[in-house]
Amino acid sequence: MRFTSFTGILHESIHQSIHPSTDFPLPPARDLCYNLAMRHTIVKLSLLFPLILSLTGCSITHVMRIEDRQVIGVQSMIDELHDAPVILVGERHDAPSHHTLQLEIIKGLQAKGRPLAIGMEMFEGPSQPVLDAWISGLASEHALWKVYESNWRNIPWNLYEDILYYARDHKIPLIALNAPRGIVQRVSQHGASALSKEDLLQLPSGINLEVSEDYLEFIGSAYPAHGRGGEAFRHICEAQMLRNRVMARRVSDYLALHPEKTVVVLAGGGHAREKGGIPEELGKLQHRIVLPAIPGMDAKTVSKEDADYLMEEPYL
C-alpha cells in the first residue's frame, strides 16, 4: 500500500470509471472504444500533471506568529514550542501539505529529545488496542488500515500513512481521541438527552454534555452554514462539543499517567481552535496551537483567542 504512486492511483481511478471491473472480456469493439477513450483521457490529463504535481507538492515553510503578526520559519516555530505539554496542529483533512507539516513538527520535537505521543481525531476510543498493537509491531498495516477505514472512511489513508509509520518506527504512542461515531450521530440527530446508560459507559466518566448559550452563539457566528437556532442546530452543537470534550479528556487522562510526555494533537481546524474547540476544554493544561485558515478565520481576522500560529499556505 505504501508504494502506490500518484499516477498509479490516478490511472486506476480512470480505469474504474471508464472500464469497470468484469469477469468477462469486453467485445473487441468495446475494447477499441475503451482504448481510444483511455488514450484520449490520459493525453489530456498528462497536460495537467505539471500543475497537479506542483500544487500537491507544495509544502508549508512559514507560519505567522499571532502574538506579533511576524512571519517566521517552521523550524523557528518548532523551537518555540518546546515548553508546552500539548501542541495542537489543526488541519483541513484533505490537505496533504497540512499532514506534511504535522509530521515535520513531530520530527522536529523528537529531534530535540522530547518524549512524544500523538493524539489523533481520526481514531475512536475503541480503536486504542489496535493502535497499541501497531506501535508494538504486533498489528499489520492491513489490520490498522481496516480500523482506519471504519473510523475515518472518507479521507484517503495515504494522507496519514507517513505519520502512522513514523510513529511505529520510533515507538511513539498513538492515542485514539474521538468519541464513537454512533454516539456522536445520535446526539447530532436527537440531542444529548437521547443517550442511554450504555452509551454513557462508552464515554469518559462524568463527561459534561451541556452547551452554553455563548457556545451556541459562537458556532452560529463562526460556522453559519450550520444555522443559528432551533433544536436541530442545538443538537449539532452538542455533538461538536461532545467530540471536543471527549478528545480533551483523553489528552488530559493520558498526561496524568505520562506527565513526561508531550502530546501532539492532530485534529480538524475547528476542533484545534482555542475558542470553541479542544483547547478550551483542557482546563489549566498549557498548550500551543498551530492552525490553517478555516471558515471565518484567516490571516486578517485570526487572534490569540484562536491560535498561536497560522500556517502560511502557498496558493491560498
pLDDT by residue (tens digit) across 88-141?
999 999 999 999 999 999 999 999 999 999 999 999 999 999 999 999 999 999
Q: Which residue has the higher pLDDT, 199 or 11?
A: 199
Inside any domain, residue 196:
no
Asked if 246 and 123 count as a contact pair (C-beta separation under 8 A), the reply is no
Inside any domain, residue 248:
yes
Asked whether residue 10 falls in the same domain as residue 159, the answer is no
- CATH code for the domain of 157: 3.40.50.11550
pLDDT by residue (tens digit) across 177-223?
999 999 999 999 999 999 999 999 999 999 998 999 999 988 888 77
When the pLDDT of each residue in the chain is averaged and rounded to a whole number, the result is 85
Asked whether residue 145 falls in the same domain as residue 73, the answer is yes
Inside any domain, residue 119:
yes
What is the residue whose three cell numbers read 506527565? 259
b/e 225-234 (16+ beta carbons within 10 angstroms → b): eeeeeeeeeb
Give the integer Cα–Cα distance in Å for 21 and 1: 20
Asked whether residue 26 falls in the same domain as residue 160, the answer is no
- Indicate if the pLDDT at residue 36 is higher than 60: no
Record the cell numbers describing residue 108, joined without a space.
522536529
What is the Cα Rg of the chain in Å?
22
Asked whether residue 118 falls in the same domain as residue 28, the answer is no
The number of distinct structural domains making up the chain is 2
Asked whether residue 138 falls in the same domain as residue 47, the answer is no
Three-state SS at 49: helix
Whole-model pTM: value is 0.81
Asked whether residue 15 falls in the same domain as residue 89, the answer is no
Q: What is the predicted pLDDT for the residue at 153? A: 87
- Expressed as residue numbers, the domain containing 27 is 6-56
Q: What is the predicted pLDDT for the residue at 227? A: 60
Percent of the chain residues past pLDDT 90, beyond the cut: 71
